[in-house]
Chain A
């Protein structure tokens, strides 16, 4: 049975149902409902909730729990997400599974609490130091807020990696009908690698640190990192195609902006323009396979996103492999308007807009 829920709350409840039993977070708008909801909900299922002194402590507490096999999560936004990066890099180096939610807001530095998609670079480029990558799932509805956080825990454990759920203020704050996923039990002892006290197989104790130090030869580690992330690139691409099959031109958009783009597709088609949409569901790895189907056959790609300069558009340029022109529509602090999107598409088709 579907329930009417706020996006942030749906995400939090889905995490509980996925078996998450440790949440450590810090207040920041527009993600605070996740923290607020879990402050009481976690105790009902026998889990641990801590409102930490900082985001640094929150991600570190998650790391401690993850090292012991727990399904652990933290959430933040904007400036707080920046502070999470230290821990995300450490989680990546020790190869520990955890889920980090960024309910994106707009702007640089303090920025603004209003909706935006300003953290794409930070999420998809390995926002911390050292050159790691990690799967980044980008929900575009209340339902997907629930579904993707649920999936995130599985992906995290499959590769032993942190996973980011890159939601946004609009999706987090809106109410929508949601079919919540079923409750799952999580056994913290199911993996041998988790910290639990030394045993016969580990008489000197487990050494859980940057895997570079103890698990690989000096020249083997780089190869391991390449193999590790290339496997994710191959297997974890996820996207939705919307009226794309016969399209002459494709919009590319994720999250809140993609909802507007679906409306734009409808409007354009009513005017006889065969417009379609590629909506990345995972923004890392970027859905190269989708673009390989259309490269060289469509007239162009228009990346529609809510930030000042365009961020995802750079990935679209890479995905186009030089075979299809790429255009940018960065709508900044204003949510895209479907009629504006159609107007920009018409300008492009009329040769009146520069490529990115």
Chain B
């Protein structure tokens, strides 16, 4: 039987990410979930700085380009103005966990009714692969040429940070390492948006994603690295799920 592959209409143009990059998968999952929930037309995205900027050229929802790290604060301003719209951030780990750590955490602290989507590939991709707060110990980058050591800190676990707030609605960490995990990640995204649609408050999905270019690995090897090394530091699963 022939299989017809269709692109969701919420993807309006082929993305321009590097070969093997995970961002293209994530934005497709977002597009599929928004369409399945019937909320692609009312979605508004607060877009981070970095590779996330490229989402502007693919994802067919209203988008606001935010300053580096401030997407969660912008998203709060959007949602508080238009509570009937579906509002989400799209950020990398450098944006959400480093320069925007404060905005990320305080959006959860205030239980803003938004969905934060944080794509964690452990490096600053757009600027050439510098170490991020999520870089693993021992991982070599252009700013940790001998491997990240303890003197430059330890990988930060944002889901653990956000778990301190009892009021938040939904927290999960998914991975793009294989088809099964991609489908699981899609379910996490769906749950997160459903929490927002039910006005249950803040939701966040962190997604472990490959950056073959800056990891200096082939795409398949990059996926294997997530399974073998990254998930050992960043466990995947649902960490908070309130009543629906």
A198 at the A/B interface (Cβ < 8 Å)? yes
Residue of A nearest to B82 (CB): A68
For residue B65, which residues in chain A have a CB less than 8 angstroms away from its CB?
90, 94, 208-210
For residue A63, which residues in chain B have a CB less than 8 angstroms away from its CB?
64, 66-67, 70, 74, 77
Question: In this complex, which of A94, A205, A207 has the most chain B Cβ atoms within 10 angstroms of its Cβ?
Answer: A205
For residue A52, which residues in chain B have a CB less than 8 angstroms away from its CB?
73, 106
Known: A22-B80, A48-B81. A60 touches B102 (CB 8 A): no
Min CB distance, B30 to chain A, in Å? 12
Once bound together, how far apart are the Cα atoms of A247 and B45, in whole Å?
A: 58
For residue A90, which residues in chain B have a CB less than 8 angstroms away from its CB?
65-67
Known: A57-B102, A60-B70, A86-B67. A24 touches B77 (CB 8 A): yes
Contact (Cβ within 8 A) B41 A198: yes
Contact (Cβ within 8 A) A195 B77: no
Contact (Cβ within 8 A) A205 B62: yes
Q: Which B residues from 4 to 18 make CB contacts under 8 A with A?
A: 12-13
Contact (Cβ within 8 A) B64 A64: yes
Once bound together, how far apart are the Cα atoms of A208 and B43, in whole Å?
A: 14
For residue A182, which residues in chain B have a CB less than 8 angstroms away from its CB?
none
Contact (Cβ within 8 A) B42 A64: no
Contact (Cβ within 8 A) A205 B82: no
| A contact patch SS | mixed
Contact (Cβ within 8 A) B74 A197: no
Min CB distance, A184 to chain B, in Å? 17
Min CB distance, B109 to chain A, in Å? 8
For residue B46, which residues in chain A have a CB less than 8 angstroms away from its CB?
64
B78 at the A/B interface (Cβ < 8 Å)? yes
Q: Mark A40-81, 1 if CB is under 8 A from B, else 0.
A: 000000001010111011101111111111101000000000
Q: Which A residues from 65 to 118 make CB contacts under 8 A with B?
A: 65-70, 72, 86-87, 90, 94
A322 at the A/B interface (Cβ < 8 Å)? no
Min CB distance, B58 to chain A, in Å? 9
A206 at the A/B interface (Cβ < 8 Å)? yes
For residue B56, which residues in chain A have a CB less than 8 angstroms away from its CB?
207, 209, 213-214
Min CB distance, A191 to chain B, in Å? 13
Once bound together, how far apart are the Cα atoms of A22 and B73, in whole Å?
A: 13
| B contact patch SS | mixed
Contact (Cβ within 8 A) B62 A197: yes
Known: A63-B74, A197-B62. A87 touches B85 (CB 8 A): no
B63 at the A/B interface (Cβ < 8 Å)? yes
Known: A52-B106, A60-B103, A64-B46. A198 touches B77 (CB 8 A): no
Contact (Cβ within 8 A) B59 A188: no
For residue A21, which residues in chain B have a CB less than 8 angstroms away from its CB?
81
Residue of A nearest to B99 (CB): A56
Contact of B70 among A56, A207, A209 (CB under 8 A): A56
Known: A87-B70, A204-B12. A53 touches B82 (CB 8 A): no
Min CB distance, B189 to chain A, in Å? 18
Known: A57-B70, A197-B41. A22 touches B64 (CB 8 A): no
Once bound together, how far apart are the Cα atoms of A202 and B66, in whole Å?
A: 20
Once bound together, how far apart are the Cα atoms of A195 and B70, in whole Å?
A: 17
A196 at the A/B interface (Cβ < 8 Å)? yes
Contact (Cβ within 8 A) B66 A188: no
Once bound together, how far apart are the Cα atoms of A262 and B40, in whole Å?
A: 60
Contact (Cβ within 8 A) A57 B103: yes
For residue B110, which residues in chain A have a CB less than 8 angstroms away from its CB?
50
Known: A52-B106, A94-B65, A209-B56. A69 touches B81 (CB 8 A): yes
Contact (Cβ within 8 A) A195 B74: no
> Could you show 28 A-B contacts with beta carbons less than 8 Å apart?
A22-B81, A24-B73, A54-B102, A56-B103, A57-B103, A61-B74, A61-B77, A62-B77, A64-B64, A64-B77, A64-B78, A64-B80, A90-B65, A94-B65, A195-B64, A198-B40, A198-B61, A199-B41, A203-B12, A204-B60, A205-B60, A205-B63, A206-B63, A207-B63, A209-B63, A209-B64, A209-B65, A214-B56
Given A195-B82, A197-B62, list of 11 further CB < 8 A pairs?
A24-B77, A48-B80, A56-B70, A63-B67, A63-B77, A64-B46, A188-B82, A196-B62, A197-B61, A206-B62, A208-B62
